[in-house]
Every structure is written in structure tokens, then in C-alpha cells.
Amino acid sequence: MTQIEARTKIRAFLGKFIPEQDFADGDEIFALGLVNSLMAMQLVLFLEKDFAVKFANQDLTLKNFGSVDAMTDLLVRRGVIGAD
């Protein structure tokens, strides 16, 4: 999977909760209050399932899941998607 495909997939998932036009890939979705803390677990489980990855404890930080960019970077670092 390419980074662009990964971004599209993550945006589509978030789009179920917030209108896609309301956030950019760099936006901090928790800090901006676009989603609440309940979203944390859902995001972790969605990424683990759809990208077939299991995050280690040190991966589980707000910073790594705070934006579409951050999540894409995390997936690249975990070797799940290509670095393009």
C-alpha cells in the first residue's frame, strides 16, 4: 500500500465521525476538539485491523495518533506501508 492510499483510508475512517472538509492531514484532531478521547481506542483498533499491525506500548501516544500525518508516519515507521 502507498502512503496516499493509507491517507485516503484513514481520512475515510475519520470521515465517519467528522466531515472530511473540516480537517486537513496536519490538523491535531484531539487538540482541536474534533474528536474526543473516546476516539483513541477506536483509532488504535481501526489501524491495527485494517493495516494488519499490532502496536507496541511505546507506539501508543497521543502524538502518534494526533493527525492523519502522524498516523501515516507511524505506519511507515512500523514498515506497514512504503516510505514512497
Q: What are the residues binding another protein (CB under 8 A)?
A: 17-18, 30, 33-41, 44, 57-58, 60-62, 65
Say how far apart CA 24 and CA 10 lie, in whole Å: 12
Task: Give 38 or 52: the residue with its C-beta nearer to another protein.
Answer: 38
Which is closer to another protein, CB of 18 or CB of 76? 18
CB of 7 to another protein, least distance (A): 21
**Can you give the length of the chain in residues?**
84
Cα–Cα distance between 10 and 14 in angstroms, integer? 6
Contact present, 61 and 20 (Cβ < 8 Å):
no
Residue among 13 and 17 whose Cβ is closer to another protein: 17
